[in-house]
Amino acid sequence: MLLAVGVLAGSAVGIYILVQYFMKPVIYQDSVPLQDAEVTARCNDTDNDVTAMPPKKVSFRINTENFLLEVQVEDRQEWLLTCHERWNSTWGTFICRHLGYIRLLHHKGVNMTDAKLNQSQEFVQVPLSQTTGTEHTWQIRYGCISGHIVALKCSECGSRSKASRIIGGSDVALGRWPWQVSLYLNNRHVCGGSIVAHQWIITAAHCVHNYRSPQLSSWSIYSGMVSHSSMRQNTPASTVEKIIHHQKYEERSHDYDIAMMKLEKPLNYSDSVRPVCLPQYDQEFAAGTECWVSGWGHIHPDSSHMPRSLKEAMVPIISTKKCNSSCIYNGDITPRMLCAGYLDGKVDACQGDSGGPLVCQTDYTWRLVGVVSWGMGCAEPNRPGVYTKIVSFLDWIHNIIEDD
């Protein structure tokens, strides 16, 4: 009897291990399948939940014509100009980062008489607190004692060449996604990435964590290209100075799946090489928001063939509540992840797209909302793509760049 019980117990453990192994999510380690897929199951949960966000006490924007800083306070509809009293570069850096830019480029006080203001124009003054933040009270003024208002310019990002737009296809024209890069390890494409500054690339931690043993010289970064076939003749590679993956990255759950790569030499920006903006702090993208994913990964989930040309696809955001439902990922989506795609499984990222960008456009600006991370298979019903949620890592990104 003891022998029989032992055999049964061993069999049960073996079956459990096999089930756990085969149910493990697939990391997109190696574009965007556009093939039709037969729908085998549907998730009936509705996607109508709204993320509860605390009311914002203050909002910022920069006038694109004259670079004047405009502030919206509490529930007031008007946008107010900012008095130069108590202003300093710390506030400029804070506001640029808050708006999704990497750094402050320039700031100054502009004479109010040169700005040609309306008679009814109102103003705000920087809070008395020595620390920056949106929670402080910005004081409303009907004039500025100094006679000057704040103008500032942040690092450029999130724009692309007007000539790059294409309609109705999945192949990508040069310059359409100018922040997209290809990560090469030992002369082979392994992942994608996104340009966020002259020397900085954001990618997925699993892209570099699984390859920690190679020397930095084994890595090459290709930018400003869409085709691998003509890449080596026309596109010089960038070498890597350092790789930093998130210290809390968890290989099995794919939580904290983000990394940054610093290039040895700054990139030269052009129509085909440009940085993408980061999200604004606390910025949420509602379910159904149309975003775009791009990459050189597999075009069919059951094929090892990788396309020569960059592919793209539009994928709508899926709420975390819905994505965590029992018929989709059953609670595996953490606050550092977001889902995007279709529940009928027609479009998705796949192997080779890992680390690449999920971008959404707001106010004519493209923002890096997610990084291709993982999923159950590719383009399978009720298994949408899972992305690293960039808005959860803004402080981490800025701290790495600043500390460097």
The pLDDT, as a whole number, for residue 235 is: 73
Distance, in Å, from the CA atom of 31 to the CA atom of 295, rounded to the nearest integer, reads 5
Q: Which of 206, 228, 245, 298 is catalytic?
A: 206
The pLDDT, as a whole number, for residue 25 is: 47
The pLDDT, as a whole number, for residue 37 is: 30
Q: Which of 182, 238, 246, 257 is catalytic?
A: 257
350: tokens are 């796949």
The 10 Å Cβ neighbour count of residue 245 is 20
**Nearest Cα residue to 391 out of 324, 311, 317, 298:** 317
State the burial class of residue 333 (Cβ atoms within 10 Å of its Cβ: 0-12, 13-18, 19+). Answer: buried
Could you tell me if 196 and 368 are in contact, meaning their C-beta atoms sit under 8 angstroms apart? yes
Where are the CATH 3.10.250.10 domain residues in the chain? 58-154
- 206 tagged catalytic: yes
Where are the CATH 2.40.10.10 domain residues in the chain? 178-270+397-403
The pLDDT, as a whole number, for residue 163 is: 46
**Nearest Cα residue to 100 out of 137, 136, 154:** 154
**Nearest Cα residue to 100 out of 280, 259, 233:** 280
Residue type, 393: F
Helix (H, G, I), strand (E, B) or coil at 214: coil
Distance, in Å, from the CA atom of 354 to the CA atom of 203, rounded to the nearest integer, reads 8
Q: For the domain bounded by 58-154, which CATH number is listed?
A: 3.10.250.10
- 354 tagged catalytic: yes
Residues of the chain with pLDDT under 70: 1-56, 130, 135, 162-170, 210-214, 230-234, 299-307, 346, 348, 351, 379
Q: For the domain bounded by 178-270+397-403, which CATH number is listed?
A: 2.40.10.10
H or E stretch covering 234? helix 231-234
pLDDT tens digits along 116-139: 888 889 999 998 876 777 767 788
DSSP letters for 271-285: SS--PPBPPPTT---
80: tokens are 């107010």
The pLDDT, as a whole number, for residue 36 is: 31
- 309 tagged catalytic: no
